[in-house]
Amino acid sequence: NKIGVIFDLDGVIVDTAKYHFLAWKELANHLGFEFTEAHNELLKGVSRVRSLEILLGIGKVELSDEKKQEFLVSKNEHYLQYIHKMGPEEILPGASNLLDTLDDLGIQYVLGSASKNAPLILKQVNLFDRFVGIVDGNSVSKAKPDPEVFLIGAEKLKLKPEQCVVFEDAIAGIDAANAAHMISIGVGDKETLSKADFNVEDLTEITSGFIKSLITKIET
């Protein structure tokens, strides 16, 4: 195999951001301040611990480490209630087709997500067995924009970073992919993800012809 693909999870395969939003909003309200969809944008692709720090900054709330730990646990428990109700119908447009296309072309793919819940989410939407490897929030020490998550992904694919293509919806993820010297494809707002090598609104735009052109590009 000359190329491999690394997928981000939230915002690329499924939209779990809406559930993170509901769970973080409940915590903010409990602490006495509002948390908006615009605030939630700041948390996309960001680790759980860092997300709490950003949220507390928005509310100008200071907490002991013990309280922070307690709220991280309760937020996740609340979030998981939504995740347990997820099914394959929540796979984002184009994602299943793209995996089929990659299968047809004999191209392997792994997950490269910040989420510690990634294996559970993939199982909920029946995609877990299709990935040859999962790199998630449990297996990395440095969060995106550090390239670690994608470099481990390349190792799982047994490929050099230059042979990997990354699909990402967050700026930190595009930065991580670029730092890893991989081909970065921004999924979502073109202006926000302007540092990506290629941009699409969603995965329905990715054709078999485009993937083949990447193979040619990487081989030469």
Among 23, 43, 92, 170, binds Mg ion (CB under 5 A): 170
* Continuous segment of H or E residues that includes residue 208: helix 208-219
Q: Is 114 annotated as a binding residue?
A: yes
- Comparison of 164 and 218: residue with beta carbon closer to Mg ion: 164
What gap in Å lies between CA 196 and CA 183, rounded to an integer? Answer: 8
Contacts of 121 (CB under 8 A, 6+ apart): 9, 14, 16, 83, 86, 115
Judged by beta carbon distances under 5 to 8 A according to partner kind, the member of Mg ion, ligand G16, none in contact with residue 156 is none
Beta bridge partners of 5: 109, 165
Cβ(125)–Cβ(14) below 8 Å: yes
Six-digit token pair at 62?
Answer: 């200071």
Q: Which 3-32 residues touch Mg ion, going by CB under 5 A? A: 8, 10-11
Rounded to a whole number of angstroms, the minimum distance from the CB of residue 77 to ligand G16 is 11
Residue 15 annotated as catalytic? no
Cβ(200)–Cβ(186) below 8 Å: yes
Question: Of 48-56, 64-72, 104-112, 163-171, which part binds Mg ion (CB under 5 A)?
Answer: 163-171
What gap in Å lies between CA 72 and CA 51, rounded to an integer? Answer: 10
Q: Which of 10, 129, 146, 197 is catalytic?
A: 10
Six-digit token pair at 89?
Answer: 């119908």
What gap in Å lies between CA 52 and CA 64, rounded to an integer? Answer: 13
Q: Is 18 annotated as a binding residue?
A: no
Judged by beta carbon distances under 5 to 8 A according to partner kind, the member of Mg ion, ligand G16, none in contact with residue 137 is ligand G16
**One character per residue 30-49, x = contact with Mg ion (rule: CB under 5 A):** ---------------x----
Backbone angles phi, psi at 35, to 5 degrees: -135, 115
- Comparison of 169 and 218: residue with beta carbon closer to ligand G16: 169
What gap in Å lies between CA 45 and CA 200, rounded to an integer? Answer: 18
Alpha carbons within 13 angstroms on the beta-carbon side of residue 175 total 10
Nearest position to Mg ion, beta carbon = 11
- Comparison of 101 and 113: residue with beta carbon closer to ligand G16: 113
Which residues are near ligand G16 by CB under 6 A?
8-11, 20, 43-48, 51, 76, 113-117, 137, 170
Q: Is 116 annotated as a binding residue?
A: yes
Could you list the active site residues?
8, 10
Query: Binding site for substrate, residues?
Result: 8-10, 24, 43-48, 51, 75, 113-117, 144
Q: Which residues bind Mg ion (CB under 5 A)?
A: 8, 10-11, 45, 169-170
